[in-house]
Structure 1
Amino acid sequence: MRAQGPLHGFYKADSSDDPRKAQAWASIPKRRGLVVVTVMVFVVFAIMLSVLIDGILKALIDQAGFSQVMMGFAPVLLICAVDAFWLDRLVFLASRPGFAVPGEPYDERQQALVAMATRQGLKLALVLLAIVAAVGASPLPAGYAIGVGLASIALAMSGPQLVLAWTLNASDFDFSGEEDEDADG
């Protein structure tokens, strides 16, 4: 069963779903720092992917040097990919008030948070689309447009969660108060 909330492509239920672990992310500066780091990793990932794709295309055209390109950039891309999955889990915790994992109620407040984050995430997607179009229209090689496009798709998919992590209030992470209200009501 999937979590209810923003699009979260790599959700897999585990012990980090416990809301008490998410309370460590109530600090606004901590969550905003995570968002900035996440975006920076996506930018580095886009650059590395662009250079790698361009190198692969040139190696295929020249029919030489393919293994050198892969040996140089593949480890860096692997590190970026592992960081992206690790950051995905941290962003999940930082946006946890917008989610309901299987067995938890998904209330109107969470639906409103997700709707707001999705609207703002669409604005981010439009900005990313403009960036991809600008790179595609520039004299840069095709590999750069492909790399930036792929990284932009991944960042756009994470957009609503990043918006939630940026905009949630510290009080939204008080999960104990919600449980008490449910027990009383």
Structure 2
Amino acid sequence: MTLETGISLLTSIGVIISVIFLAIEIKKNTQAVRSNFYDSFANSNREFLNQLIANNDLGKLFEKGTKSWKTLEEDDKRTSNYMYIQLFRIWENLYYQNKMKVLEPWLWQSNKNTIVSYFYLKGIQEWWQFRRQSFSKEFVDFLEKSKKPTNEIKVIEDLLATDKEGKIPAN
């Protein structure tokens, strides 16, 4: 083997090792980005839910608005409007993270079920007619073209209205 062939071989091996190292680093970086997003998403959810837990009246108002937006008083509509915008912004972000393949399919599917279930609640539908233009066209299309669940999500009021056997009465 000549010196030139040896140098060429070593250079080729060096390039291959560099490509392998780069691939490993890209994979680690992708995992770190996903981990950071999952953490950020969990924190956003926690913050949203904590405000409903910390303020009992706010939690009740949130659910009351999902039942019927039209029957809320002006101040309650104002507060509910901000809560729903906050929640739907979290979900819009999740939608785009899914489109960019940041989410694991199982995580998107479970959250998609929640999003769509809440979206089709009567009060949210009433609110949506006034706020749909506040969100991206793509997110609006996703929600409006989603299939309405046959099993409507229950709020606490519904869950408390159980009979002695723990069954929810038929509507």
Fold conserved (TM > 0.5)?
Answer: no
TM-score (norm 2): 0.32
Q: Which of 1 and 2 has greater Rg?
A: 2
TM-score (norm 1): 0.30
Q: Which has the higher contact order (CA 8 A, sep 6+)?
A: 1
